Amino acid sequence: MFLKSKVHLVTIAALYTVFPQTIIANQEASSTEASITVTGTREETLRAETSETVGQINDQELQATKPAHPSEIMERVPGVHINVTGGEGHMTSIRQPISTQPLYLYLEDGIPTRSTGFFNHNALYEVNVPQASGIEITKGPGTSLYGSDAIGGVINVITEAPPLEPELKLSLEAGEFGWKRLLTSAGKSWDDDGIRADINLTQTDGWRDATDYDRASATVRWDHFLQSGASLKTLLSTSNIDQQTAGSSRISEDDYNNNPTENYTPISYREVKATRLSTAYEKESHNTLLSLTPYVRNNFMEYMPNWSFSYDPSIKETESNSLGLLAKYRIDFKPLRTRLIFGADIDYTPGSRLEHSIDAVKTGDVYTSFTTAEKIYDYDVTYQAVSPYVHVETSPSENWRFNAGLRYDNLQYDYTNNMADGALVINPESTRFPVTYNHPVDAKVDFAHFSPKLGAAYTFNESLNGFASYRHAFRAPSEGQIFRPGSNDASLDLDPVKVDSFEIGLRGNPTKLLNYEVSIYYMTKKDDLVTYEDPVTEDRTTVNAGETLHRGIELGLNSQFSKDWKFSLSYAKNKHTFETWVERGTDFSGNEIQSAPEEVANTRINYSPSLLNGGRAELEWVHLGEYWMDQSNTQKYSGHELINLRMNYFATRTFETFIRLMNVTDKTYATSASFSRGESTFAPGMPRTLYAGAEYKF
């Protein structure tokens, strides 16, 4: 019985890492044929047979990098850029401009971290990234298996499986600007069970004024193997975040160059609580698989957004509680190696929003204090979704692999206004003009949409394969865009954003020490949601606008050119343009979209000599290309280059020391930049920063 259980647990640990089963392969694997992905189809699939680009980061890379922020690890995937907005906050750019728009789907072990209607662009700080087992990033629309939000890409953070033998790991590190972090993990396996717990305690004073940040996260995972041959994986994840914010608070060009620690909004803050509990049941036979994953989820956030102080100062409190189910059945057929997957996602999420206006006191450029004023929004909204889908794969010949899929999303918002219907007009002291807050009457808003996909992969030989695909996606407006409309009196009539994406690519490993992947994408986006700002009253209105075009080429290359040396390159060249775009009489058609970097690159050289005893030294070059700072294309941010250095050393098999020196040359750079009303403003990035620590495994 004991031996049998050990075999079962080995199987769970090796294969059952996420829902559904998967093996996480190294992004820098020596063979593209051997690399396996899961996110694109919710099934373990050879990358050589997938018809989309999937970037993979394994636990060895996470362990060696020890990222203090998701941007320090995600940009190793070609075409992925994540900036810093304070603490672990971020904005994402994957085949889209840098923005806070709900264009991405964030998953933990295949389960969305939030409901569609309650998107948070900072979603990665609700997940314990540095203690993950791996990360998969599917670029472009999230195929027919994922619904609204999966336009720019799908990011799946994968938890660590329980260890086979008892394990205790303790990592302590410190850095400049009051940075302190404790990462601890413990786990064991016995009979048919395995359990693991990870804790992340992080604190920093922040390098800019009034930007301190505290984080407490925990993940507990229990794997259980049933006598019937089925398996259960229960996962509990929770994060509590408390921070003062300034990262995305841009400052004048003069302060950016001469006083970058300045924070114009030191009174702003953000408190976040996120908890997720799920149990994944899987029963597999020789040609079928049944997966059922019920989950519950709570997301709470209270925050004072610093970006809206000049036109809409407020304290916001949002909360949502989810009950959901991911159900899937897969059957394989011998003829033509055919695989059929069909399933349904069900999500029921009651939520609420409570907001108060504030009167903020401004001294010079700095908001120094505030008082809470009128209640401006108070409503309840329930998001409901039932989304069946079907996916099929087949191989009419040994070299070809075709796939097709179709998803139907039936979404509904059920909204109840807890204030008087109609417009509320107030004039807070911190704004120049009255601010209008419309309150729609109680309503139900429905969205229904079909999302198809087609793809093909072709194996030329053992070291070269190619693919082509068409994918359609959509994004329903979020609850805030519909029911928190500001001055918009037609928000209930907003349409979903629609996207059509075409992609071709090649993957190859001409030698065992070299592999590459190159892809070209072409994406059109229609009925995009845009917020107009009245140049006189500064009232903002969100409406469906015109059409945008997004295209680019992405390249990933890895070379182990000697025993001790490895070279890795991630590169993307993009162009994002307004095709048909008119705002309040101004035609921007043909212009490039603002905040859309032309190039994104990340180059790494790793040196692993014997004297580091299994450790390595890594020199990293990060490049962000130039981009327009305004829609009129009159001012540009010139882009920047950063150099980072990392090194770790194993004094013994169980004791490791490490250092990270970020921004080695102390480069002045911006994490975001804009031009408005004749003034350029910049959010400064961190100066040269040193971290050091040690890790011990008991």
Task: Give the pair of three-digit tokens for residue 616.
Answer: 């390595």
CATH, range 2-697:
2.40.170.20
Q: Give residue 571's identity as a one-letter amino acid code.
A: Y
**Cα distance between the two ends of the chain:** 28
Q: Which of 326-335, 357-366, 535-544, 649-658 has the lowest mean pLDDT?
A: 535-544
DSSP state of 625: -
Cα distance between residue 601 and residue 571, in whole Å: 4
Q: Tell which residue, 572, 535, 573, 542, has the closest CA to residue 557.
A: 572
Is 533 or 175 the better-scoring residue by pLDDT? Answer: 175
Q: Give residue 149's identity as a one-letter amino acid code.
A: D
* Residue 21, pLDDT score: 32
Task: Give the pair of three-digit tokens for residue 672.
Answer: 């975001």
With cut-offs at 50, 70 and 90, classify the pLDDT of residue 537.
Answer: low
Q: Give residue 467's identity as a one-letter amino acid code.
A: F
Is 360 or 181 the better-scoring residue by pLDDT? Answer: 181
Identify whether the C-beta of residue 104 lies closer than 8 Å to the C-beta of residue 152. Answer: yes
Task: Count the Cβ atoms, other than its own, within 10 Å of residue 197.
Answer: 15
Cα distance between residue 228 and residue 222, in whole Å: 18
- Average pLDDT of the segment spanning 203-223: 95
Share of the chain above pLDDT 90, in %: 77
CB within 8 Å of 621: residues ≥ 6 apart: 601, 602, 603, 604, 641, 642, 643
With cut-offs at 50, 70 and 90, classify the pLDDT of residue 276.
Answer: very high
Q: Could you write out the DSSP letters of every residue in 264-333?
A: S-TT-EEEEEEEEEEEEEEEE-SSEEEEEEEEEEEEEEEE--GGGTTT--EEEEEEEEEEEEEEEEEEEE
Which single residue is written with the structure tokens 């994402």? 92
Task: Count the Cβ atoms, other than its own, within 10 Å of residue 383.
Answer: 23
Residues 552-571: tens digit of each pLDDT: 999 999 999 899 999 999 99
Asked if the model's pLDDT at residue 583 lies above 90, the reply is: no
Residues 397-446: tens digit of each pLDDT: 999 999 999 999 999 999 999 999 999 998 877 776 788 899 999 999 99
Helix, strand, or coil (residue 483): helix
Asked if the model's pLDDT at residue 37 lies above 80, the reply is: no
Residues 505-519: tens digit of each pLDDT: 999 999 989 999 999
Residues 132-164: tens digit of each pLDDT: 999 999 999 976 777 677 889 999 999 999 999
Cα distance between residue 482 and residue 131, in whole Å: 36
- Average pLDDT of the segment spanning 361-385: 94
Task: Count the Cβ atoms, other than its own, within 10 Å of residue 561.
Answer: 11
Identify whether the C-beta of residue 386 lies closer than 8 Å to the C-beta of residue 422. Answer: no
Calculate Rg over the CA atoms of the chain. 25
Identify whether the C-beta of residue 245 lies closer than 8 Å to the C-beta of residue 87. Answer: yes
Task: Give the pair of three-digit tokens for residue 551.
Answer: 């295209």
Task: Give the pair of three-digit tokens for residue 111.
Answer: 């389960």
* Residue 34, pLDDT score: 47
Q: Which of 43-52, 222-231, 329-338 has the lowest mean pLDDT?
A: 43-52
Is 17 or 93 the better-scoring residue by pLDDT? Answer: 93
Is 606 or 117 the better-scoring residue by pLDDT? Answer: 606
Identify whether the C-beta of residue 313 lies closer than 8 Å to the C-beta of residue 428. Answer: yes
Asked if the model's pLDDT at residue 670 lies above 90, the reply is: yes
Q: How far is CA 405 from CA 47, 125, 540, 644, in A?
A: 18, 32, 39, 42
With cut-offs at 50, 70 and 90, classify the pLDDT of residue 248.
Answer: low
Average confidence score pLDDT of the chain: 90
The whole model's pTM is what? 0.92
Cα distance between residue 251 and residue 674, in whole Å: 10
* Residue 541, pLDDT score: 72
Asked if the model's pLDDT at residue 40 lies above 70, the reply is: no
* Residue 287, pLDDT score: 93
Asked if the model's pLDDT at residue 8 lies above 80, the reply is: no
SS (H, E, C) 353-365: EEEEEEEEEEECC
Residues 468-498: tens digit of each pLDDT: 999 999 989 999 999 999 888 888 999 999 9
CB within 8 Å of 87: residues ≥ 6 apart: 125, 204, 206, 211, 213, 215, 241, 243, 245, 247, 270
Domain boundaries, the chain: 2-697
